[in-house]
Amino acid sequence: MIVTINPATEEVLAEYPAMSHGDINAALNAAYLDFTRWRHVSMPERARLMLRVAELLRERKAEYGALATREMGKPFAQAAAEVEKSAWVCDFYAAHAEEYLKPEAIDMDGGKGMVVFEPLGLVLGVMPWNFPYWQVFRFAVPALMAGNGVIVKHAPNVTGCAAAIEQVFRDAGFPDNIYRTLHIELQDVDRLTGVVIEHPFIKAVSVTGSTAAGRAVAARAGRALKRSVMELGGNDPYIVLDDADLEKAVTVCAASRLLNSGQSCIAAKRFIVHRSIRSRFEEMLLERMLGAKTGDPFDPATEVGPIARADLREGVHHQVEESVRAGAKLLCGGAIPDGKGYFYPPTILADVKKGMVAYGEEIFGPVATVIEAADDDEAVAIANDSEYGLGSAVFSADPVRAASIASRLETGNCFINAMVKSDPRLPFGGVKQSGYGRELSSYGIKEFTNIKSLCFS
């Protein structure tokens, strides 16, 4: 059985039957049969059904938001906003998929060429718990609009959310098996996910999760010669220059670090601050972090809910302790509170240096690290001194200076004077150990198509 637990109260929420090897094969067979029909459904009809999904998500926003809050602990307002954002990506691809996938004519000597975009088949998504709706929808919606079938192995601790997503596609009128969820127990994930990847009906794999998980799945997909897209961990640098609007920078930096209780791959994690303003930045950040209320995620005043699981909280705390032992200065937080729930307080580590855990590792919780830089060149060097390369941000009053720094950062995206976000209109993904391939926009929908060349003479 798969057991879900409320991380704010430690109470058991529900138990779900795990799928056997036979159950998984039956699901894949049914999904493939529906795919053979779905690939021929017209784009306007696909769009009509996807718009209905968006309608249902908005109608059920409170219900689905509350479910996510109970299962993984994010503040309810953020959970409801996540459902709304998932509806947006449905609207977006309903409006743009046909344009993105229209055939492209190519002039050739003595003939005519054409590039067409055809579905691959069943695409497996291995999805995480931290944004249990958005990260599934941003993968599944373009894949379905491109004519593929979708199979999702969701994180076990958000099994209720996983079941709700599958149901909403059926309720909207999609074929019953064109979107299927595989309920797999945590101890069987490696074995059964490997079986799924190697199944002949699975043609590609998309992973959102930790770098370690991505490596494992990418290795299996590579051995099977299956296409893959990896959106993995991040240790995003936010560079604050000496001419930045400090009030705005601190507000944005703190909001990014605390969003989803710090459990986001694109959260601000390393604050690289110019030496001349570091002390003031730390004072303002400390005031902001101390003012963030931690507690019941259903309380509208709560900004920081619990960490999603007990083992994850222990991991965060261990990283903080190791950093302090190595010489980092603890400005606030850094202690596991008494009582029920997997809560961890907003924490700031200052005087962080190369070699410390907080310098090189991703900390998946509400922990901010402050690193001093003497000048712009050193700030860029520190930002790039990481195995990760997902998102980044630069804060400066000079757009030319900020753009110059942005062009030197080894990341998949960079936001100027703003928080890093994923947006359906922009390609999203990273470099280095943060993964490869892109989601969203016109680039994302083409990742899981057969880009076929036709030539007429």
Active site residues: 231
The single residue listed with the structure tokens 């021929």 is: 40
Q: What are phi and psi of 449, to 5 degrees?
A: -130, 155
End-to-end CA distance of the chain: 60
The torsion of the CA quartet 137, 143, 148, 149, rounded to 10 degrees, works out to -20
Q: Find the angle CA(252)-CA(257)-CA(259) to the nearest 5 degrees.
A: 90
Q: Judge whether 122 and 203 are in contact, CB under 8 Å.
A: yes
**In this structure, what token pair is assigned to residue 29?**
């067979």
132 contact partners, CB below 8 Å, separation of at least 6: 68, 71, 72, 82, 154, 155, 158, 161, 162
Q: Measured between alpha carbons, how far is 186 from 61 in angstroms, rounded to an integer? A: 28
Distance from the Cα of residue 330 to its chain's centroid: 29
281 contact partners, CB below 8 Å, separation of at least 6: 240, 246, 249, 250, 271, 273, 370
